[in-house]
Amino acid sequence: MTVALVTGAAGGLGSAIARRLAAGGHRVAVNDHPRRDVSALAAELDGVAAPADVSDPAAVEAMVADIERRTGRHIGILVAGAACMTVAPFIEHDPDDWWHILDVNLGGTFACAQAVMPGMVERGGGRMVLISSEWGLIGWPDATAYSASKAGIIALTKSLGRELGPLGIAVNAVAPSAPDAPQLDVAAKAAGVTAAKLRARYAGRAPLGRIAAPEEIAESVAFLADARLPTLLGQILHVNGGTTRARA
C-alpha cells in the first residue's frame, strides 16, 4: 500500500483524483485549505484528512510529518493540485492578489514537492504528479497570474524530472483544459456568461467536441502515478480533447 497525498482535494477535480487513487488501493491523504473541510472525503476513502495552507511552507512541512506519523509510512505519491484563480485585466490586477495566486499555485507545489522528497528518497522512490493547465501552455487574457503559475509548474516538472529522476522519483504533469471545476465558474463570471455557456464555448474549440470530465483527468493522474512506469518522467500530459495537440 502506498500513501498518496492529494492537495486541493475539496474541489471537483481534486476529489475525483483522490477517489481514483483510493480505488487503486492507495491510502489517500486529502488536503485543502483549512477553510474547506475534507474530513467527510477522508472518511469516505478511509484516508487521512490533512488540512493546510500550501502557500505556507511551515504548514506544509507540519502536514507531511503528521501524515507520515498517522500512516506510519512515507508519502510515495504526491498529486499537487491546490490552486486558486481570479480574473482581471492585467493593468487592473491588484499586485497582492497576483502574487497570492503565484504563492498558492506555484509556491504551494514547490513546498509540497520539497516536503515529501526526503521521505521518497528514504523509501527508494516515488511519483509526483503536478497539475498544470492548458493555459500554462497557451496563456489566457485576464488570467495572467493563473497562466504564469501553471507555466511555472510545467518548467518545474521538466526540471525536477531531470534532477529527481536519478533518485527514483518520477515527476510528471497533467495540463488539462477547463474541466468542471471552480476555476471554470470564475472564468464564466468574468466573461459575463453562464458556466454552461462557457463549457460549450470551450467544447467548440476542441476537436473532440467536449471538455474533459474530472474523472478522465483523474485517470490520467493515476496513469502517471503508476510505479510500473519508471522511465516516464518530465512529461506533460495534455488532457484537453485535442485543443493543444501536445504543443510545447
pLDDT in tens, 46-95: 999 999 999 999 999 999 999 999 999 999 999 999 999 998 999 999 99
Distance separating alpha carbons of residues 158 and 60, to the nearest angstrom: 23
pTM beyond 0.85:
yes
Residue 197: Cβ within 10 Å count: 12
Question: 81, 41, 63, 27: which is closest to 218 by C-alpha?
Answer: 81
pLDDT of 123-163, one tens digit each? 999 999 999 998 898 888 889 999 999 999 999 999 999 99
Distance separating alpha carbons of residues 198 and 87, to the nearest angstrom: 15
Q: What is the pLDDT of residue 248?
A: 45
Structure confidence at residue 244 as a pLDDT band (50, 70, 90)? confident
Contact (CB, 8 A) for 152 and 106: yes
| The residue type at 103 | D
For residue 119, pLDDT over 60 is answered with yes
Share of the chain above pLDDT 70, in %: 91
Walk me through the domains of the chain, giving residue ranges and CATH numbers. 3-177+214-237 (3.40.50.720)
- List beta partners, residue 126: 169
All 3 cell numbers of residue 183? 476555476
Question: 62, 46, 45, 63: which is closest to 7 by C-alpha?
Answer: 63
- Choosing from 150, 158, 197, 202, the catalytic residue is 150
pLDDT of 205-215, one tens digit each? 777 777 788 99
Q: What is the pLDDT of residue 241?
A: 72
Known catalytic residue: 146?
yes
For residue 179, pLDDT over 50 is answered with yes
Chain centre to alpha carbon of residue 42: 18
Contact (CB, 8 A) for 13 and 218: yes
Q: What is the pLDDT of residue 209?
A: 73
Structure confidence at residue 17 as a pLDDT band (50, 70, 90)? very high
| The residue type at 138 | I
pLDDT, average across residues 31-53 = 98
- Choosing from 146, 189, 197, 202, the catalytic residue is 146
Work out the angle at residue 47's Cα, subtended by the Cα atoms of residues 43 and 48, and round it to the nearest 5 degrees: 95
For residue 200, pLDDT over 80 is answered with no
Q: What is the pLDDT of residue 173?
A: 98
